Chains A and B, each alone.
Chain A
């Protein structure tokens, strides 16, 4: 949004319902301590053990689980590879991980979304809230082709904002 368009913010509240429609939120409780669940999302050798969908395994992966670190996993099914990649925006033990996410088709990354994992300890168990939403774009990000570089641009913008 350019500065001349900031006046639209007041009128934007009507659009919030639409925003909710394009946001996925799941809550799940795991019978495991919070540190164990956090590790399962941030230790590469652990992530790949549960990452691949039914019938897939993860023969190739590169996961740099720190803020600004890139990640990419190849899920190999019986017929085809499903490749997904992104950048970690936030890795904050013990309770928060945020990363970008896009499927790759023929070497091109598709629409990018952001996945947030929030953990909460509840009586020795761990409540996990997963939120996936469309990129909260600045115009500069939006006009890019959502390529690999734009991830870093958006990340820079994100970090500058913090």
Chain B
């Protein structure tokens, strides 16, 4: 997995940052507007925005005095694609697990049948003696 995908997941792991993204999904916003619903300081919001920006989940206007933030759909898509890759990986692993369990069940049945046969053979041989 590439580094910024790691960064995306680390960024998404925080509920405040997820809430910020959910707000930005509705449209661009300034830092002040983003801070409004939270009981946290502007510098704290800025730190969260830096994490999101580094993870390429949001973009901020470079030059404007009031740097508005907007969501970067590509970053989120990368995270969703990652989940899909894992879905495929686990589907295949679970197929293999099903095969393994079937084989193990067969082996267990054979084993118990085998030990029954052994007992019968032993009884038989004793009778022949």
| A contacts, CB < 8 Å to B | 1-2, 4-9, 11-19, 21-24, 26, 28, 30-32, 36-37, 40, 46, 49-51, 53-54, 103, 110-111, 113, 128, 130, 132, 134-137, 142, 146
Known: A8-B38, A103-B1, A110-B6. A1 touches B94 (CB 8 A): no
Assess whether B66 is interfacial by the CB under 8 Å rule.
no
Let me know if B79 and A51 touch, CB within 8 A.
no
Let me know if B93 and A111 touch, CB within 8 A.
no
Assess whether B68 is interfacial by the CB under 8 Å rule.
no
- Which residues of B are found within 8 Å of A23, using beta-carbon distances? 83
| Shortest Cβ gap from B105 to chain A (Å) | 6
Let me know if B86 and A132 touch, CB within 8 A.
yes
Assess whether B64 is interfacial by the CB under 8 Å rule.
no
- Which residues of B are found within 8 Å of A2, using beta-carbon distances? 44
- Which residues of B are found within 8 Å of A142, using beta-carbon distances? 10, 13-14
| Shortest Cβ gap from A105 to chain B (Å) | 8
- Segment of B96-104, B112-120, B121-129 engaged in the interface with chain A: B96-104
Partner of B98 from the list A7, A18, A30, A134 (CB cut-off 8 Å) is A30
Partner of B18 from the list A16, A24, A32, A132 (CB cut-off 8 Å) is A16
**11 CB < 8 A contacts A-B:** A5-B39, A8-B15, A12-B18, A13-B19, A15-B20, A15-B22, A17-B22, A36-B105, A46-B100, A111-B1, A135-B13
- Which residues of B are found within 8 Å of A9, using beta-carbon distances? 15
In the complex, the 8 A-B pairs of residues with the closest C-beta atoms, listed nearest first = A7-B39, A15-B18, A12-B15, A111-B6, A50-B100, A14-B22, A50-B96, A15-B19
| Shortest Cβ gap from B117 to chain A (Å) | 23
- Which residues of A are found within 8 Å of B18, using beta-carbon distances? 12, 14-16, 18-19
Interface centre among B1, B22, B99, B102 (most CB of A within 10 A): B22
Let me know if A4 and B44 touch, CB within 8 A.
yes
Assess whether B50 is interfacial by the CB under 8 Å rule.
no
- Which residues of A are found within 8 Å of B40, using beta-carbon distances? 4-5, 7-8
- Which residues of A are found within 8 Å of B94, using beta-carbon distances? 26, 28, 128, 130
Let me know if B100 and A146 touch, CB within 8 A.
no
- Which residues of B are found within 8 Å of A128, using beta-carbon distances? 94
A90 to B70, CA, bound (A): 40
Interface residue ranges of B1-23 to A (CB < 8 Å): 1, 5-6, 9-10, 12-23
Interface residue ranges of B70-109 to A (CB < 8 Å): 76, 79-80, 83, 86-87, 89-94, 96-102, 104-105
- Which residues of B are found within 8 Å of A11, using beta-carbon distances? 16, 19, 37-38
| Shortest Cβ gap from B110 to chain A (Å) | 15
